């Protein structure tokens, strides 16, 4: 058979398999078994095995084994890099390892005594599997007789490796979707659905009930009284245990299968009951809730008695849509609190939302996001040596009609609870690109701009597309932007999050780890993520050069960054002493009030291109 014909035959067989619905629906191990069967039969090799690389990239574990004589078998075997350095090097650099004389080939000779000789293997053809840029495994074809591998065979082996890589990517995607669905819908302390999830449930019920007129439901808003004094007395951990215990009790309350409990805020819960008319049942549930909260709690040998204020409203009587129902229930709850706590208040038309209401603020924020009405201030990041501005950080601001300029701390939690972080991030990204385009068209291009990404954005694999479209729309190059991600946002170990970060880098943007030192990042993980800059959290800088612990931490962060070849920015530099100390330690970049506060874009220009401290 001509090589071309063989080539086509191989690839057709692979296409047929990989498009077969049964194959697509199979689990991973059956997919790998089918692929190794196919490779074994078509190439007539004696053994086919598939191996997976571990997370740190120094060991491969067998996942599947096929034998021409004897079909499938699986034995867990591991190969570590330190025993076989030449082989691992070849995996990382070669497209394939095609060894006709495996026992004497420098790349594979180390396996001779323990593997080739006992099994009688003469020739092998190994194709590394790459997921994006990362080596994730290898497929090995082994033959007892001597083989000189042909071009179609080599191309077939790499095509199978690519198919396995597609399987990996697809699995990572599914995992990240699940993870995203989980973090966006469940509260991590109690495992209860969160506000966003509760809101979706309410909306769903309203839609259902509009179709089948007649029925309604009741919404109970629960706010624990005086949780703050528990936090003050027993620490935040004590407060968390109270919340977790009460969450457990609420969960095990007798609620009809269709009713629903959620944790909708720090010390707030909500319950949905599927009736608006059965007042006996409503009273009964309210009583149960009050009872389960006031039952004594024992925490660290202390007995606590908690109470809660309850606000109750009904659909459709007290609100015709999700937002007005939440507002009514919350307003009723505040009323109960004002009347002396530990009581229940049903909503009535005399009760109005107060300025404290988070839903009022949330509604306004939602509106501001929809109208692109958030603003961005910029804070310079300067060169330590000469205090010249080298880049700027974009920081979101909200000009509230009554409350004036609001800092992120005043509204980011509201946005997060309302599931608005992705939308907010998009508004900021757009504003930054617009500002850049406008500044450039006026002949005053802006310095490279760092944008903060929320965890919700980093976990969304649509982010790189969104960034790319925005760059194109406003004629901005990827290299003009940097992205800052906190340690917390990257703490999961998802391949798709890694892929998202890599795609941002591929657009030309550099990535920084923000607030470094406050979260958990292991050195080995950092090494594998595409960050090129690290920002030391300002809590470590504040007491420098007086606090010995902070000095030790900062020095070790600087050392760590140097070892990883990363640039370091010290945040929150407010004093000359801090600046001098950081300069002596070789920290290249600084940010803080000493140089400038975050300012609106038109004030940035006057700072531009001058050293930011005239003393220098």
Rule CB under 6 A: which residues touch ligand C2E? 379, 395-396, 407-409, 412, 425, 428, 452, 454, 484, 514-515, 538, 571-574, 591-593, 598
Question: Smallest distance from the beta carbon of 293 to ligand C2E, in angstroms?
Answer: 34
| Closer CB to ligand C2E, 333 or 471, in the complex | 471
For ligand C2E, the closer CB: 239 or 380? 380
Per-residue b or e along 454-483, where b marks 16 or more CB atoms closer than 10 Å to that residue's CB: bbbbbbbbebbebbeebbeebebebebbbb
Closer to ligand C2E at the Cβ: 326 or 394? 394
What is the smallest separation between the CB atom of 581 and ligand C2E, expressed in angstroms? Answer: 15
DSSP 533: E
Q: How far is the CB of 567 from Ca ion (least distance, A)?
A: 14
**Residue 305 CA: distances (Å) to CA of 55, 207, 271, 293:** 48, 39, 21, 8
C-beta atoms surrounding 439 within 10 Å:
17
Q: Which does 190 bind (CB under 5 to 8 A by kind): Ca ion, ligand C2E, none?
A: none
Q: Which of 515, 534, 544, 570 binds Ca ion (CB under 5 A)?
A: 515
CB of 446 to ligand C2E, least distance (A): 16
Least Cβ distance, residue 377 to ligand C2E (angstroms): 7
| Tokens 């039952």 sit on residue | 295
Tell me the C-alpha distance between 308 and 227, whole Å: 10
CA distances in angstroms from 136 to 52, 167, 310, listed in the order given: 6, 12, 54
Residue 408 binds which one of ligand C2E, Ca ion, none, with CB within 5 to 8 A depending on kind? ligand C2E
| Comparison of 379 and 449: residue with beta carbon closer to ligand C2E | 379
Q: Residue 33 or 418: which CB sits closer to ligand C2E?
A: 418
* 205 binds, options ligand C2E, Ca ion, none, Cβ within 5 to 8 A by partner type: none
8 A C-beta contact, residue 212 and residue 274: no
Residue 272 or 369 having the CB closest to ligand C2E: 369
- Nearest-CB residue for Ca ion: 484
CA distances 54 to 60, 61, 445, 525, Å, are 6, 8, 45, 12
Nearest-approach distance from CB 379 to Ca ion, in angstroms:
9
Instruction: Name which of 333 and 412 has its Cβ closer to ligand C2E.
Output: 412
Residue 182 interacts with, from Ca ion, ligand C2E, none (CB under 5-8 Å by kind) = none
* CB of 516 vs Ca ion, minimal distance in Å: 8
Among 548, 489, 555, residue whose Cα is nearest residue 518: 489
Residue with tokens 């940035």: 604
CA distances in angstroms from 324 to 316, 319, 351, listed in the order given: 10, 5, 13
Shortest Cβ contact with ligand C2E: which residue? Answer: 592
Q: Which is nearer to ligand C2E, 312 or 433 (CB)?
A: 433
407 binds, among Ca ion, ligand C2E, none (CB under 5 to 8 A by kind): ligand C2E
The three-state secondary structure class of 145 is coil
Are 100 and 126 spatial neighbours (Cβ–Cβ below 8 Å)?
no
Instruction: Please state, in angstroms and rounded to a whole number, the distance separating the CA atoms of residues 575 and 331.
Output: 46
Q: Which of Ca ion, ligand C2E, none does 512 bind, CB closer than 5 to 8 A by kind?
A: none
With H, G, I as helix, E, B as strand and everything else as coil, classify residue 420. Answer: coil
Three-state SS for 405? strand
Least distance (Å) from Ca ion to the CB of residue 398? 17
Beta carbon nearer to ligand C2E, 201 or 388: 388
Site for Ca ion in 468-497 (CB under 5 A): 484
- Count Cβ atoms within 10 A of the Cβ of residue 441 and give its class: 0-12 exposed, 13-18 middle, 19 or more buried: exposed
Distance CA 101, CA 85 (A): 19
List the one residue out of 505, 593, 581 whose CA is nearest residue 550.
Answer: 581
Give whole-number Cα distances, 443 to 232, 389, 437, in Å.
Answer: 55, 18, 10
CB burial of 569-585 (b: ≥16 within 10 Å; e: otherwise) equals bbbbbeeeebbebbeeb
- Residue window 538-577: x/- pattern of binding to Ca ion, with contact defined by CB under 5 A: ---------------------------------x------
Query: Pick from ligand C2E, Ca ion, none: which does 593 bind, CB < 5 to 8 A by kind?
Result: ligand C2E
Closer by beta carbon to Ca ion, 308 or else 587: 587
Rounded to whole angstroms, how far apart are CA atoms 364 and 556? 44
In the list 46, 142, 460, 514, the residue contacting Ca ion (rule: CB under 5 A) is 514
- Residue 444 C-beta: closest distance to ligand C2E, Å: 22
Q: Which does 574 bind (CB under 5 to 8 A by kind): ligand C2E, Ca ion, none?
A: ligand C2E
Distance of alpha carbon 606 from alpha carbon 594, whole angstroms: 16
317 touches which of Ca ion, ligand C2E, none (CB within 5 to 8 A by kind)?
none
- Residue 97, strand partner residues: 126
Residues 6+ apart with CB under 8 A from 241: 299
Q: Which residue, 171 or 588, is less far from ligand C2E as judged by CB?
A: 588
Nearer of residues 319 and 592 to ligand C2E, judged by Cβ: 592
Collapsing DSSP states into helix, strand and coil, what is residue 266? coil
298 contact choice in Ca ion, ligand C2E, none (CB below 5 to 8 Å, kind-dependent): none
Query: x/- string (CB under 5 A) for Ca ion, residues 424-463?
Result: ----------------------------x-----------
Q: Residue 180 gets which letter from DSSP?
A: H
* Token output for 514: 């923000």
Kindly state the smallest distance separating residue 563's Cβ from ligand C2E, in Å: 24
Binding site for Ca ion (CB under 5 A): 452, 484, 514-515, 571
């Amino acid at each position: 058979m001509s090589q071309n014909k063989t080539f086509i035959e191989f690839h057709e067989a692979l296409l047929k398999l990989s498009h077969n619905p049964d194959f697509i629906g199979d689990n991973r191990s059956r997919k790998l078994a089918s692929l190794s069967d196919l490779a074994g039969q078509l190439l007539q090799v004696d053994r086919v095995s598939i191996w997976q690389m571990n997370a740190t990239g120094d060991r491969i574990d067998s996942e599947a084994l096929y034998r021409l004589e004897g079909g499938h078998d699986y034995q867990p075997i591991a190969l570590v890099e330190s025993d076989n350095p030449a082989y691992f090097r070849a995996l990382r650099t070669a497209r394939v390892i095609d060894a006709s004389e495996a026992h004497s080939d420098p790349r594979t000779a180390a396996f001779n005594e323990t593997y080739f000789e006992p099994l009688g293997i003469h020739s092998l053809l190994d194709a590394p599997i790459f997921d994006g840029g990362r080596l994730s495994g290898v497929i090995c074809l082994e033959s007892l007789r001597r083989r000189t591998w042909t071009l179609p065979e080599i191309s077939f082996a790499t095509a199978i490796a690519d198919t396995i890589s597609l399987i990996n990517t697809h699995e990572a995607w599914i995992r990240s979707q699940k993870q995203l669905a989980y973090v966006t819908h469940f509260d991590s302390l109690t495992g209860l659905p969160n506000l966003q999830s509760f809101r979706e449930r309410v909306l769903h019920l309203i839609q259902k009930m509009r179709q089948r007129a007649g029925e309604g439901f009741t919404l109970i808003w629960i706010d624990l009284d005086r949780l703050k004094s528990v936090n003050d007395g027993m620490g935040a951990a004590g407060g968390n245990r109270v919340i977790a215990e009460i969450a457990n009790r609420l969960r095990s309350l007798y609620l009809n299968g269709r009713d629903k409990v959620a944790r909708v805020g720090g010390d707030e819960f909500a319950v949905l009951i599927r009736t608006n008319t059965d007042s006996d049942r409503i009273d009964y549930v309210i009583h149960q809730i009050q009872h389960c909260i006031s039952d004594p709690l024992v925490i660290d040998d202390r007995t606590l008695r908690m109470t809660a204020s309850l606000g109750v409203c009904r659909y459709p009587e007290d609100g015709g849509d999700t937002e007005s129902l939440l507002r009514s229930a919350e307003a009723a709850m505040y009323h109960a609190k004002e009347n002396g706590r530990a009581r229940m208040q049903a909503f009535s038309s005399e009760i109005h939302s107060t300025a404290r209401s988070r839903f009022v603020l949330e509604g306004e924020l939602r509106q501001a996001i929809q109208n692109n009405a958030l603003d961005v201030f910029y804070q310079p990041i300067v060169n330590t040596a000469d205090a010249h501005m080298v880049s700027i950080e974009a920081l979101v601001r909200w000009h509230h009609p009554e409350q004036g300029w609001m800092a992120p701390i005043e509204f980011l939690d509201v946005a997060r609870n309302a599931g608005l972080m992705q939308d907010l991030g998009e508004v900021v990204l757009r504003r930054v690109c617009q500002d850049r385009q406008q500044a450039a068209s006026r002949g005053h291009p802006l310095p490279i701009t760092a944008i903060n990404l929320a965890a919700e954005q980093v976990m969304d694999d649509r982010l790189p597309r969104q960034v790319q479209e925005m760059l194109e729309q406003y004629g901005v190059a990827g290299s003009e932007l940097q992205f800052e991600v906190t340690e917390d946002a990257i703490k999961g170990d998802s391949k798709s999050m890694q892929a998202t970060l890599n795609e941002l880098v591929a657009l030309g943007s550099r990535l920084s780890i923000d607030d470094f030192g406050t979260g958990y990042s292991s050195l080995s993980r950092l090494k594998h993520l595409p960050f090129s800059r690290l920002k030391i959290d300002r809590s470590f800088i504040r007491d420098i050069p007086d606090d010995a612990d902070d000095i030790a931490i900062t020095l070790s962060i600087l050392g760590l960054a140097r070892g990883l070849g990363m640039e370091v920015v010290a945040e929150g530099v407010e004093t000359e002493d801090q600046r001098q100390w950081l300069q002596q330690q070789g920290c290249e970049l600084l940010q803080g009030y000493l140089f400038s506060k975050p300012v609106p874009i038109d004030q940035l220009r006057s700072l531009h291109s001058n050293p930011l401290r005239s003393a220098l």
